[in-house]
Each structure stands twice: as structure tokens, then as C-alpha cells.
Amino acid sequence: MLYRLRDAGFQAFLVGGAVRDLLLGLHPKDFDIATNAHPDEVKGLFRNCRLIGRRFHLAHVRFGYEIIEVATFRAAHTPIDEDNSVDEGGHRVLDERGRILRDNLYGTIEEDVWRRDFTANALYYNIEDFSVWDYVGGVEDARQRILRMIGDPETRYREDPVRMLRAVRFAAKLDFTIHADTAAPIPKLAWMLDGVPPARLFDEVNKVFLAGSAYAAFELLERLQLLEHLFPDLSSALEDVPPGGSARELVRLGLQGTDERVRAEKSVTPTFLFAVLMWPAIQRAYAKHAPAADGDPQQLLAACDLVTARQQARVAIPKRFTLPLRELIGLQPRFERREGRRALRLLNHPRFRAAYDFLLLRAAAGEADAELAQWWTDIQAASADERVERVESLGPGPRTAAAGAAEGPRRRRRRRRRRPPAAS
Ligand code: ATP
Ligand code: MG
């Protein structure tokens, strides 16, 4: 890849996270390449190449499952004119708050380095002689585990507020300290996240929380006052919760559990992650709107819908995650009802496993009954006969009780009609 660009007469460097990770002795997650070839020239060299991005033109070159991102050197930091935010060629466009809308003025490597975010992310590895080109002291910062913004931090956050989240992500993931000057403007500029498209925030939030250091990232987000702009309802639900309070414990244990899974290379899904991050707010909404409806699944689902809708305004969580999330939440009250064979049907629910994991989490946080969680653990290990024995020993259950029997068939029909086809 690098060689083909070079043989065609272009400069080509490995850049960004891969160089940084190799320097730190970590496995790079992906490879980014910087070159002086223009995107259409890159396309001319590689058949399996797609040009992407409007705000920022890039070439994606596919090698099997790997996608290598090839970016053309960008020109030096264009001074932001007070009255004229469009540069000569019209390539770099900023809005009235200094935010970059488009950045496609090509330049040289000496210019490219200044538009990168952190010093440790601005190292260029040259395949010609295996040297690292470091214009900004990135090698030394990486060695000292310091995350330092290139240029004036406030200006750089105004250009692209997502850099505040990137600071949190890299500090948490790499166990770096954010340099004091780099951290200082963040609380003051955190509000600028409100102007970032919710779909981009979803991508970034996912990266922040699924990089193996979710809990460290969460603490940083809270400390830098970013959390209230990403998860306003979570932030206010946790406001009066003391350290060790069950809502905080649930978030802590949930995120630490996610981190363990990521580190063990097990699968993690945004569904469970967002259930953890939304549960304290769902519980609060539930308690507020249905103080008397203890254990009423419909009221809990209404609270879930309310919190989800509000959350979508900040972080656009796709339906393929919010729908299973809703099911996972809706099953929680059903764990309370252990009597009768109806309880056993829960074991076959397609969302049982995730809902049960969430019950365990609630129990570990001290919010759900530990004995209840244990009962559901035990019943899974029991044989079919034992299972029936156990639920029947607890009583007849609502279905066969007088009132339940009268209601049973009607409820059943209604549920069947509502069930979407091929739900899984
Ligand atoms: P990861 O290990 O998560 O891939 P990365 O450092 O490679 O981390 P990418 O998002 O892949 O991060 O971006 C590649 C490089 O592009 C970064 O290292 C950085 O130099 C530059 N970059 C990416 N996004 C921005 C941004 N919003 N502002 C400035 N520079 C950026
Ligand atoms: Mg990368």
C-alpha cells in the first residue's frame, strides 16, 4: 500500500493512531495513511478504492476485511479572518463560531501536521528509512503519557467540538494525562457539543465507551462537564446520588463489566451499554410518573420511551439498538413474578439473556433483590421437571388465579397481535 504510492512517485506515511500505538507497544486498531497524492490519484492507483466524506474528502482502500484510510495532506492552519471565513480557493469553510465546515485545501506534510489534534497523533512513519517524523514533540509526550493539543486548545475545540470527546477517549484508552492547558477550556466549551449532529455524537460516544476504558472515560466526562451535554438526563439523575449510591453503582459496574468484556475480546453491544447509561433516568421518570404503579411494565415502558426520545435529541441511537433496549427494560418487572408456569416462559424469551444480565447488574448495584437474581440463576441450571416444581411450589401464579384466569385469554390475544413478525 505504502510502497505502491511511493513507487508511483508520491510521499506516503503511516500516521495517526497506528504510529502512536506501535510506539506505545500496543496493537494498532486500524491504519491511516497520509500522502501527497490527491484522492483521485489514490483512486487511480487502487482498484478497491472508494472516495468518501463531504466535510473531509478521504479515500478508503479495502484489503479483505481491513479498510485503510488514505488522507491527502491538508494545508496549514488558515488564519480565521474576522469577516471572511472562506479562504481564497474556497476550500476551507468555517462557521461564525470558528467551526470547520469543510477542509479540502491540500498541502505538504509540514502543513498537514498542524491540523492534527494531539501531538501523539501527529507522528509520521516514513517507510523509506523507517524513521518517525515528529514536528510537535509527540514522541516525548507519548513517552510521558501526556495528551497535548497542537496549537491553541480553545481555537481547536471551536473548530471541531468533537475534539473534546477525542481528548477524553484517548486519555482514558491510553491512560494518558490530559495536559492542564489542553483540559482547561473544555468545561467552558462543553456546550458546543449541543451543535454537533446527533449521528456523529453516536459514533463518537460508541468509540468512547467501547474502547475498553468506559469507566475511566465516564469519570472524565463527568469531571470535564461534558456528560451533561451528552446524557443530560443521566447527569441530572446522578446529581444527588452520593458515591456508592445504587444508581452510580449500576453505572460503574455496568461500564466496568463492559470494559472486562472488551478486554477479553468478547462481543459488546451498544444496546446493553445504552441501557446502563439510560437506566437511572428511566427509573427516575418511572418513579415520578407512576409512583403508585409499582412493577407495572406499561408504565416502565412509557418511562423508557420518554427517556429514549429525549436522549435521541443528543445522541442518535439507531432503532436496531433502541428496540432491543426497550425489550430488555420491559422484561425487568417480569422477573418479580416467579409463580406459575408463565414465569418459565420468560426463559425462552429472545431477550432473556440480556435482560437477566441486566437484572444481575441491578442486584450487584444493590437496587434489585439479590435473592431474586439468585433464583433466576438457579432456575436456569435446573432440569425441566425441577423448574416446573419450583414455580408451582411458589403458588398458582396470576394466570390460573381467579382474577388472572378471567383476564388471561384476552391478554394473550392482544399480545399475540402486537408481536411483530419474526421478532428476534
Ligand atoms: P484510533 O486508534 O481510535 O483509530 P486514531 O488516532 O487513529 O485513533 P482516527 O479517528 O482514526 O484516530 O484519526 C486518525 C488521525 O487523524 C488522528 O490520529 C489525528 O491525527 C487525525 N484526526 C482525526 N480526527 C481529527 C479531528 N477531529 N481533528 C483533528 N485531527 C483529527
Ligand atoms: Mg485510526
Structural domain contains residue 109: yes
Interatomic CA distance for residues 317 and 203, integer angstroms:
9
The mean per-residue pLDDT over the stretch 344-373 comes to 95
Question: What is the span of the domain harbouring residue 139?
Answer: 1-144
Structural domain count of the chain = 2
Query: Has 21 been annotated as catalytic?
Result: no
Question: Within this chain, do residues 100 and 124 fall inside the same structural domain, yes or no?
Answer: yes
Ligand number nearest to the C-alpha of 161? 1
Question: Within this chain, do residues 53 and 2 fall inside the same structural domain, yes or no?
Answer: yes
Structural domain contains residue 407: no
pLDDT at 246: 95
Question: Within this chain, do residues 6 and 94 fall inside the same structural domain, yes or no?
Answer: yes
Q: Which one of 91, 117, 144 terminates a domain?
A: 144
Protein residue with its CA nearest to atom 18 in ligand 1: 16
Residue 362 has pLDDT above 50, yes or no: yes
Q: Which one of 116, 144, 172 terminates a domain?
A: 144
CATH number of the structural domain spanning residue 208: 1.10.110
**94/363: higher pLDDT:** 363
Structural domain contains residue 198: yes
Residue 335 has pLDDT above 90, yes or no: yes
CATH number of the structural domain spanning residue 52: 3.30.460.10
If you measure from the C-alpha of residue 361 to the centroid of ligand 1, how many angstroms do you get, rounded to a whole number?
A: 34
Question: Within this chain, do residues 135 and 2 fall inside the same structural domain, yes or no?
Answer: yes
Range with the poorest average pLDDT among 126-130, 251-255, 271-275: 126-130
Residue 22 corresponds to which cell in the numbers above? Answer: 506501535
Residue 420 has pLDDT above 70, yes or no: no
Mean per-residue pLDDT over the chain, rounded: 87
If you measure from the C-alpha of residue 233 to the centroid of ligand 1, how many angstroms do you get, rounded to a whole number?
A: 29
pLDDT digits (tens, 9 = 90+) for 214-246: 999 999 999 999 999 999 999 999 998 999 999
Question: DSSP assignment of 360-415, as one string?
Answer: HHHHHTTSS-HHHHHHHHHHHHS-HHHHHHHHHHT--HHHHSHHHHHHHHHHHHHH
Question: Within this chain, do residues 35 and 116 fall inside the same structural domain, yes or no?
Answer: yes
CB 245 within 8 A of CB 239: no
Q: Which residues pair with 258 in a beta bridge?
A: none
pLDDT digits (tens, 9 = 90+) for 78-113: 444 434 344 444 456 667 676 665 666 788 898 899
Question: Within this chain, do residues 137 and 4 fall inside the same structural domain, yes or no?
Answer: yes
